Amino acid sequence: MTFDFDVIVVGAGHAGCEAANAAAKLGSKTLLITLDLTKIAAMSCNPAIGGIAKGQIVRDIDAMGGLTGIVTDYSSIQFRMLNMSKGNAMWSPRSQCDKAIFSSYWRYQLEHNPNVYFWQDSVNSLLISDSKVIGVHTVQGVNFYSRSVVLTTGTFMNGLIHIGEVNYPGGRMADAASYGITEQLSSEYGFEIGRLKTGTPVRLDGRTIDFSKLTEQEIEYSPYKFSFSNNSNKVQPQRKCFITYTNTTVHDIIRNSLDRSPLFNGTIKSVGPRYCPSIETKIVNFASKDKHQLFIEPEGNNTYEYYLNGFSSSLPIDVQLNALNEIEGLENVQILRPGYAIEYDYLDPTQLNYTLETRKIQNLFFAGQINGTTGYEEAAGQGIIAGINAHYKSINSTYQLILGRDQSYIGVLINDLINKGVDEPYRMFTSRAEYRILLRQDNSDDRLTPLAHNIGLVNSEQYSLYNAKIELLNSIYTKLENTKIKSELSTPILTQQGYNSINQSTKLYKLLYYPNISFSHIYNNTSFFKSQFNSYSEEQKQILFDSIDIHYKYSGYIEREQNKIQSLSKYSNLHINNIDYQSILSLSFEAREKLSRINPKTIGEASSISGVSPSDINILLTLLGY
């Protein structure tokens, strides 16, 4: 038995799994400590991965050699591409998963990483010497020593579960809360601690649902999946989801029981996620609505458990059941678990560096809900960055991986957390990214795979696949731009999509400027490109086709955003050293306060701080002699 490691990761949720995998792949001997080894990467809430902006995060993780996309594809029971009514650049992948397979396959992947070790226990304090973390102490009385520690504690720190008038300690249903860490960090090291709230819906017994009364969501036999690097086909049987609605009777039952809801009787004082409200909050905030849409989603292929998406609640069990029995299709439903709310500790993320290392304690990293975020994807994105940087700190390297806002949604997420902090659980949206046309789900590997390969996180096989893709796309672009076709070849392509034919030869790429014509139309109606895609699966082929379409249809927008980035980047890497911001009265009061608190290392970091205006940046540049 060994008690010495390079990196220790506390918590085996989505952040912890990605952190442990990344640190171990880079060569660190990594210990993953969790309360329950049977619940690694547990899907505590919705059994789904991805969604608007979240799907882009998962694609980015995959491009960097992470595992969330691969595990999702293996456990997927329904894949959808969201936002397809909009342009390709706004598309977002989402997958319903078999949650049992998702968890077990994550464990399988980690167990096959030779540098990952496991320990089932609860950490109740950190071992710290001279403001540097040197290990952890557990409730079983064990000291484990390491050069870096990553805390990914989710909702477990001082977790308190609420179901109506009942509340009791817990990190999630049937799991104990953890204690000691936040008290230590707050009392001994002055960390700012807050409380947030989240919740989850009731789980239903599928045998007692009348599916004949529900609206089926047809299965989309999608040509997509998350991982471009994984060439395997989907392996799980695909499952349907169903739709039903609340009604005025349901609303009356809930409205008349608000005095028993901990959200409305003052029991819960912390703030919950704005964009995933409880059903009781919906009834109050949208009082004029006479119904709310609900999704009934399977939790796996070998279970009759269903998830009622849209009915998150902390109402008493009897109220939840009475309300459910008034919903069409659920008149006789039995429940497996009630919905509940949970309050938990988080640490103000403005206390972190952009590497996710804390400013007050060296070699200590935070990732996931401990930083005030919500969502598996946001957690996993932070986890891979924390794991990478924890590895480099463990070997005393000065290298730091910091993703910019123009590189990844993960960069946007971390930048927002550190510069703005949180006053409610943070959820990623495309609207948070000013360069979202560049941060698409189809080009994650273009943005991140070379970087990840350079540090050893992407293996040679994945990197070869990436290089082959780039070589193929460049050859396609060359052929499209240099090949003229006569009108008899262009006419079928144009007329099939409702356009008039043209009576002259035209270069192939110009057809892609028509809104309804995609590369797939050219591919299917000509023989120019058939042989070039022989080695690619249907999933990979579709992603490549999308990239070609976007390359031409969004070329003007892409160029504009790239020019904007170049103009800003001229000074973005300029270092800032030892400036007393409070003494610079020409700066705005808000800029002085935030620059002093955040202490950015570069002009780029300073310019991304909310409340620091372009004129403030110009003042700093003048002081620096530019």
Q: How many CB atoms lie within 10 A of CB 500?
A: 8
Separation CA 552–CA 484 (nearest Å): 17
For range 345-365, the mean pLDDT? 97
Position 578 scores a pLDDT of 84
Same domain, 388 and 480: no
Position 171 scores a pLDDT of 96
Separation CA 70–CA 229 (nearest Å): 8
Residue 167 within any structural domain of the chain: no
Q: Residue 494: give its domain's CATH number.
A: 1.10.10.1800
Q: Share the mean pLDDT of the chain.
A: 93
Same domain, 135 and 237: no
Residue 537 within any structural domain of the chain: yes
DSSP 199-244: EEEEEEEGGG--GGGSEEE-----S--S-SS--PPP-SPP--EEEE
DSSP 489-547: HHHHHHHHTTPPP-SS-EEHHHHTTSTT--HHHHHHH-SSSGGGGTTS-HHHHHHHHHH
Same domain, 136 and 208: no
Last residue of a domain, one of 446, 477, 500: 446
The band of 535, judged by pLDDT with boundaries at 50, 70 and 90, is confident
Last residue of a domain, one of 554, 587, 615: 554
For range 184-200, the mean pLDDT? 97
3-class SS at 33?
strand
In the chain the first and final C-alpha atoms are separated, in Å, by 58
Position 104 scores a pLDDT of 97
Backbone φ and ψ of 614, nearest 5°? -55, -35
For range 89-104, the mean pLDDT? 92
DSSP 339-394: -EEEEEEEE-GGGB-TTSBBSSSBTEEE-SGGGTB-SHHHHHHHHHHHHHHHHHHH
The band of 542, judged by pLDDT with boundaries at 50, 70 and 90, is confident
* Residue 283 near residue 436 (C-beta atoms within 8 A): no
Separation CA 462–CA 19 (nearest Å): 20
Q: Residue 116: give its domain's CATH number.
A: 3.50.50.60
Global pTM reads: 0.91
Residue 234 pLDDT exceeds 70: no
**Tens-digit pLDDT profile for residues 291-338:** 999 999 999 999 999 999 999 999 999 999 999 999 999 999 999 999
Whose tokens are 């463990």? That residue is: 394
Residue 93 within any structural domain of the chain: yes
Give the strand pairing for 92-97 and 305-312. Answer: unpaired
Q: Alpha-carbon dihedral of residues 588, 592, 597, 599, nearest 10 degrees? A: 110
Q: Percent of the chain beyond pLDDT 70? A: 98
Last residue of a domain, one of 554, 589, 610: 554
| Number of domains forming the structure of the chain | 4
Residue 88 within any structural domain of the chain: yes
Same domain, 256 and 337: yes
Q: Residue 233: give its domain's CATH number.
A: 2.40.30.260
Q: Which residue has the higher pLDDT, 164 or 230?
A: 164
**Tens-digit pLDDT profile for residues 287-298:** 999 999 999 999
**Tens-digit pLDDT profile for residues 398-441:** 999 999 988 999 999 999 999 889 989 999 988 888 888 899 98
Position 231 scores a pLDDT of 54
DSSP 281-317: HHHHHTTT-S--EEEEEES-SS--EEEEEEEE--S-H
Residue 452 within any structural domain of the chain: no
Residue 183 within any structural domain of the chain: no
Q: Which residue has the higher pLDDT, 590 or 122?
A: 122
* Residue 8 near residue 136 (C-beta atoms within 8 A): yes
3-class SS at 167?
strand
Beta strands in 57-147 (DSSP E): 76-82, 92-97, 116-120, 123-129, 132-138, 143-145
Q: Residue 591: give its domain's CATH number.
A: 1.10.150.570
* Residue 565 near residue 406 (C-beta atoms within 8 A): yes
Same domain, 302 and 379: no
Same domain, 442 and 468: no
Q: Which structural domain, as residue segments, surrounds residue 608?
A: 570-623
Same domain, 267 and 356: no
Q: How many CB atoms lie within 10 A of CB 84?
A: 12
Q: Which of 160, 129, 164, 169 is nearest to 146 (CA)?
A: 129
* Residue 110 near residue 40 (C-beta atoms within 8 A): yes
Where does residue 199 rank: exposed (0-12), middle (13-18), buried (19+ CB within 10 A)?
Answer: buried
Position 49 scores a pLDDT of 97
Residue 163 within any structural domain of the chain: no
Same domain, 220 and 332: yes
Q: Which residues in 62-75 are b (16+ Cβ under 10 Å) and which e?
A: bbbbbbbbbbbbbb
Same domain, 67 and 104: yes
Residue 453 within any structural domain of the chain: no
How many CA atoms lie within 13 Å of 568's alpha carbon, on the beta-carbon side? Answer: 20
Same domain, 46 and 135: yes
**Tens-digit pLDDT profile for residues 491-529:** 888 898 889 988 889 999 999 999 999 999 999 888 889
Same domain, 242 and 375: no
Q: Which of 305, 258, 308 is nearest to 283 (CA)?
A: 258
Position 428 scores a pLDDT of 92
Residue 381 pLDDT exceeds 70: yes
Same domain, 302 and 405: no
* Residue 561 near residue 522 (C-beta atoms within 8 A): no
Running DSSP on this structure, what letter comes out for residue 602?
A: B
Q: How many CB atoms lie within 10 A of CB 87?
A: 16
Position 154 scores a pLDDT of 97
Distances (CA, A) of 272 to 204, 372, 566: 24, 11, 38
Position 604 scores a pLDDT of 83
Q: Give the pair of three-digit tokens for residue 448.
A: 């991140």
